[in-house]
Structure 1
């Protein structure tokens, strides 16, 4: 791991990034909002998260090579790759934060293209539901990123 991450990774932590595993904010860490449905499952291909909001969205880390998954729990994901680490952790029920190497593209999209509009504004990637009932915004600053959910942009 790089100096950016001074994590002590125990050998007994779960380390399988497999399709369908639950990824959500823990009520241990603060108040939750289950009605928002801002809960994800691990995606089927590569390193991706499928968010189960009313209009489902995908966050994809486009890696050119496979990595070594170090931690895959319900609210923390850490994968080591040749170019650096992919880290995703829930900060609150509506916000994820993390790291990804600059060589990786992060892609935020709707699972089905007719469920809303998606656009880019500077370093912000925005998806807004067609019915105006929910927006997800991805912001990237070098290797740091944040993904936030709200009722509107």
Structure 2
């Protein structure tokens, strides 16, 4: 394949990447790299759960098993007992909590807790579980890692 006929990087990715300041890219990539570095040495068979973009990075970088679908209930208004039960059923060892998924709201009705309100109308009006977990993860979970973006919660395996 000649050099001119090979797909060019810019045909796959936007030219905007060349205009994006390196400092900005570092702010996007550094937090996830810090998370991956933190968890890479943990038990090889530990199962992680969290938001899909972060779990994709954990899976790709560490090879750890991940769960995503039911785990979004952490961003609902369900009780900690219910969410912990969901996570235990899935065999989750650690949940990667991202506060931005709890608080991000691009327009009315579009935050994760508001989306869950449609699915889980009986809990409308309660404080989202993720807001509680951002402050204190006890007694249902144990915080084992925390920075400005991520809080890794160990799922306590007791029957609480």
Higher relative contact order (CA 8 A, sep 6+): 2
Common topology (TM > 0.5):
no
Name the TM-score class by shorter chain: under 0.3
TM-score (norm 1): 0.25
| Bigger proportion of residues as helix | 2
If you compute each CA radius of gyration, which structure gives the higher value, 1 or 2?
2
